[in-house]
Amino acid sequence: MRPLLTALVATVAMVSAAAQAEPFERTEEREPCAAHEPMRRPFFGDTHIHTARSQDASTQGTRTTPAQAYAFAQGAEMMIQPWDGEVGQRRVQLARPLDFTALSDHAEQLGEVHLCRTPGAPGHDSWVCRVYRGWPRAAFFLMNARYSYLSGRWGYCGDGGQDCLDAAGTVWKEIQDAAEGAYDRSAACRFTSFVAYEWTASGGTAGNLHRNVIFRNDAVPALPISVIETGNTASDLWQRLDMDCVQGTPGCDVLVIPHNSNLDDGLMFQSAVNVGEAIGPAEAAIRARWEPLVEIMQHKGDSECFPGGATTDEACGFEKLPFRNMSGSTSPMLASLSGADAPPDRGSFVRTALQEGLAIEAALGVNPFRFGIIASTDTHLGTPGLVSEADFPGHGGAGIPLAEGDVPPLVDIPSFGPGGLAVVWAEENARDALFAGMKRRETYGTSGTRPEVRFFGGPELAPGLCEAADSIEQAYATGVPMGGQLDGNDTRPRFWVSALRDPDPGAAPLQRIQIIKGWVDDAGDTHEVVHDAAGGDTGASVDLATCERRGSGHAQLCSDWQDPDWRAGERAFYYARVLENPSCRWTQHVCAAAAVDCTDTSTIGAGLEACCAEDHRPTQRERAWTSPIWVGP
């Protein structure tokens, strides 16, 4: 290994160890939080939300401002499309507010959209802006195609694109002001906002290489970095973030979260320097620094694992889409041209990336895919945390636009869903504490419900923690939490996992806890296995006519577990997956409310045909995925 790379890897390792041993660094001035828990608590949030400032959201009728989105996250009621003048025809509100939110409007075209929407602004009367205002869905395709296939900006952006850059600065300031206005800097620490955006790149024809960029505090660059500045390589994004944020803005720190990868055409976990090629040693180390987390689920499906081949895990069938890139939901013609109608690529899934990371680490000495796990919504309505299955209003984006007209019975593409939530274990609900939790990967994702999940591992972890009154104190003292690394692998580690069901009476009981192991053998081949660690088949079911759940489950589950197939010297990861009893998907809630009986065609009203389609999934098992714990040299 080259000396510079060796030093970088050693530095990353020391920083990682210090992050686990020391309290988080405080970088901002604010009142101390009255509620501070040294043993940490789970905070529920959403890190992937688009408002009307995103071009795609605005062209499908979304009018939500950043300030309104933050208010919604804290429990405010809000109107959404379709619109009758200034009145939204639907109203939405969270039953349980979020603890934190990071709005992630697309950096691309922030300025272009602002000019088109602002009378008297440069370019407002250009033909492009007239199309945007008069035929917004046509403008969606026109404007995105322009930036996908041609360099530079529209002529109406002025010399060097400066008018659009200036306008982007205006919107970026609005986003920052909204985050500051929502952030509770008082001792109550009720809500935390993060300044953020989405960098929206595509590989191949329409492969998703998108990343969400989240800043630690209010020290941020003058402008968000878009694909127009970087091209489609994430390595250029990291370099610009280093230059504009870490090196160029005092007090600035940032992390990058790869977007739900199921629609990436198999490209997300390949090289970010030369897309489609293998990852080299320098990129592996740099990637590990910038991307500590990955989004495992959102409204466009689940990316944990894909059934088939070496993957025999039956729970991998959860929320899978039938296409492999972003054009699959647009039209049959585009799907065929882009190859979206082909089966998804196994390399598009997080478990495969975690396994590949072990193989790369064995070969190069550093793991580029040491990902912590989160989930989020990717809503394009500006509605953070809107994950209820029972009254899902759709999320837009690649789904069904509802700018005007009647609302169809099934308000989104049936294979899409409400999405999930990001959970961070932290001492308090403040930016520094939450950001530190994300950096050390002490996170988990859920499919929308709110179970409380702990996961620890270590060879010194004491047995019997499920019964111990001081289990958390012992676990932190003798092991590492989810997201941690166990250095050395000569002693069989012990794992402790605990789950409490979502306290909402409408949530399903727990069914089981599973521990998923991935490892690389001496030949460099990767493997996986799923172990049941607690609970099991509860025999629970769902009445599809009423969506009433039947059968019993668990209010809590706990396990003190060791790998029965552990081998000294093995390089492996372990993560926990918590499954709830079956419940209705959002589509079945609609079908049941409409009294659809698939044996009686007279009950299948217009727009409800998908209720009786062969590929309709009426039920699901809500779940949570912890960040892994890695074991190895």
Give ∠ CA 546-547-551 in degrees, rounded to 5. 110
Cβ-Cβ contacts under 8 Å for 320 (sequence gap 6 or more): 262, 301, 302, 306, 307, 344, 415
**94 and 20, same domain (yes or no):** yes
Contact 140, 56 (CB under 8 A): yes
pLDDT tens track for 18-72: 334 447 999 999 999 999 999 999 999 999 999 999 999 999 999 999 999 999 9
**441 and 459, same domain (yes or no):** no
Domain boundary among 428, 448, 468: 448
3 pLDDT band, cuts 50/70/90, is: very low
**8 and 140, same domain (yes or no):** yes
Structural domain tally of the chain? 2
CA distance 592 to 583: 13
Domain boundary among 448, 474, 499: 448
Distances, alpha carbon 500 to alpha carbons 32, 318, 453, 475, 557, in Å: 29, 21, 7, 17, 7
Report CA Rg, the chain.
Answer: 24
338 pLDDT band, cuts 50/70/90, is: low
Domain boundary among 395, 419, 448: 448
**121 and 235, same domain (yes or no):** yes
CA atoms within a 13 Å half-sphere pointing along the CA-CB vector of 386:
27
DSSP state of 575: E
CA atoms within a 13 Å half-sphere pointing along the CA-CB vector of 600:
6
CATH for 29: 3.20.20.140
Cβ-Cβ contacts under 8 Å for 228 (sequence gap 6 or more): 108, 147, 152, 153, 161
**439 and 465, same domain (yes or no):** no
Give ∠ CA 196-199-205 in degrees, rounded to 5. 155
Looking at this protein, which amino acid is placed at residue 273?
V
275 pLDDT band, cuts 50/70/90, is: confident
Percent of the chain with pLDDT over 70: 93
DSSP state of 508: P
> Does the structure show a pLDDT above 90 at 147?
no
CA atoms within a 13 Å half-sphere pointing along the CA-CB vector of 616:
19
Q: For residue 295, give the H/E element and its range.
A: strand 293-295
CA distance 376 to 301: 11
**476 and 512, same domain (yes or no):** yes
> Does the structure show a pLDDT above 90 at 307?
no
Of 60, 532, 74, 613, nearest to 313 (Cα)?
A: 532
**409 and 490, same domain (yes or no):** no
Contact 394, 590 (CB under 8 A): no
Of 474, 586, 575, nearest to 530 (Cα)?
A: 575
pLDDT tens track for 524-554: 999 999 999 999 999 999 999 999 999 999 9
The pLDDT value recorded for residue 531 is 97
**What end-to-end distance do the CA atoms of the chain give, in Å?**
16
Other CB atoms within 10 A of residue 314 CB: 9
DSSP state of 446: E
Is-cis flag, bond preceding 332, omega within 30? no
**236 and 211, same domain (yes or no):** yes
Owner of token pair 């620094």? 289
**396 and 474, same domain (yes or no):** no
**358 and 474, same domain (yes or no):** no
Which structural domain, as residue segments, surrounds residue 202?
3-448
- Six token digits for residue 286: 């740099």
Buried b (16+ CB within 10 A) or exposed e, 126-144: bebbeebeeebeebbeebb
Q: For residue 568, give the H/E element and its range.
A: none
> Does the structure show a pLDDT above 50 at 142?
yes
Q: Which residue has the higher pLDDT, 341 or 58?
A: 58
Of 461, 451, 454, 526, nearest to 483 (Cα)?
A: 454
Looking at this protein, which amino acid is placed at residue 177?
D
Cβ-Cβ contacts under 8 Å for 371 (sequence gap 6 or more): 258, 291, 292, 293, 294, 350, 353, 354, 357, 441, 627, 628
pLDDT tens track for 119-128: 999 999 999 9
**414 and 459, same domain (yes or no):** no
- Six token digits for residue 265: 């055409």
Task: Average the pLDDT over each of 37-51, 143-157, 281-295, 501-515 and give the range with the smallest value.
Answer: 143-157
**115 and 207, same domain (yes or no):** yes
Q: Which residue has the higher pLDDT, 619 or 323?
A: 619
What is the chain's mean pLDDT, rounded?
92
pLDDT tens track for 241-255: 999 999 999 999 999
